[in-house]
């Protein structure tokens, strides 16, 4: 069965020649807790933790993606910290775009300009990766409207579990394994790479690196039912069992 899926994924790579990843930073790659301003400020400057499996995801995605661009609404003053965090975890990015505090306009207009500039500068199709803490979902819907046919996928990391705007193409994920599996099913990430990311999370000593304490922590396995019909059903079941234990409150004595 896995050999069959491997042949399918290999045969589909030529379809996706020329892919660029554009990713948010805080609460997408880096564990920041943006909703808590004092904590976010501290983590933005001093924090170095990233979500388990994300470095491996970006490394494996290099097999089909030619570029990674990180676009964050954090201010430029923390650029050295951002660079150090990415380097520490081996995440290579072609560009890091941070916000100039002297420029007018809010986060939405800034991110729309920054992402549009990257898309306009190349010919690749785009995979967008963000989270639901701020306005990434709304921004991604607008980017899809502006660039019909150019956006291969728009992924939203569930942190707050807030309602998302209506619009085709927004796909939620809770872990890097979810993200890798969605890319595998799209024919971009190969079987070996996806398996590596699942194993990375299954073996992670602290699931707080997968779903931190401040993030929405699902205690029902049904949200992962879509994975059980795939070639990774066994790995998904193992990981989900660990997540459910992590997210289920201990009974009070």
> Residue 7: what pLDDT?
47
What span, in angstroms and rounded, lies between the C-alpha atoms of 218 and 84? 32
CA pseudo-torsion sign 221, 222, 226, 228: positive
Q: Which fold has domain 2-247?
A: Rossmann fold (3.40.50)
- pLDDT, position 180: 98
With a cut of 70, list the residues of the chain below it in pLDDT: 1-17, 167, 251-253
Q: Kind and range of the H or E element at 96?
A: strand 95-99
For residue 1, the model assigns a pLDDT of 52
pLDDT at 169: 83
- Quick one: pLDDT at residue 11? 44
Cα 1 from chain centroid (whole Å): 28
């Amino acid at each position: 069965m896995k050999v069959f899926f491997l042949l399918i994924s290999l045969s589909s790579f030529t379809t996706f020649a020329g892919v660029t990843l554009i990713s948010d930073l805080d609460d997408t790659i880096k564990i920041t807790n943006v909703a808590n301003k004092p904590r976010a400020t501290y983590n933005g400057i001093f924090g170095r933790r990233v979500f388990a499996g994300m470095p491996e995801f970006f490394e494996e995605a290099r097999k089909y993606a030619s570029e990674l661009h990180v676009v964050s609404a954090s201010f430029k003053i923390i650029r050295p910290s951002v660079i150090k965090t990415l380097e520490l975890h081996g995440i290579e990015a072609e560009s890091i775009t941070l916000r100039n505090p002297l420029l007018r306009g809010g986060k939405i207009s800034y991110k729309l300009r920054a992402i549009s500039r990257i898309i306009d500068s190349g010919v690749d199709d785009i995979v967008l990766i963000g989270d639901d803490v701020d306005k990434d979902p709304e921004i991604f819907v607008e980017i899809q409207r502006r660039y019909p046919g150019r956006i291969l996928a728009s992924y939203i990391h569930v942190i707050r579990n807030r309602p998302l705007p209506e619009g085709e193409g927004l796909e939620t994920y809770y872990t890097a394994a979810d993200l890798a599996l969605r890319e595998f099913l799209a024919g971009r990430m190969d079987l070996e790479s996806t398996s590596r990311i699942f194993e990375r999370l299954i073996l992670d000593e602290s699931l707080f690196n997968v779903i931190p304490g401040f993030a929405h922590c699902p205690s029902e396995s049904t949200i992962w039912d879509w994975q059980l019909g795939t070639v990774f059903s066994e790995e998904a079941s193992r990981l989900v069992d660990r997540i459910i234990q992590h997210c289920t409150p201990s009974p009070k004595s």
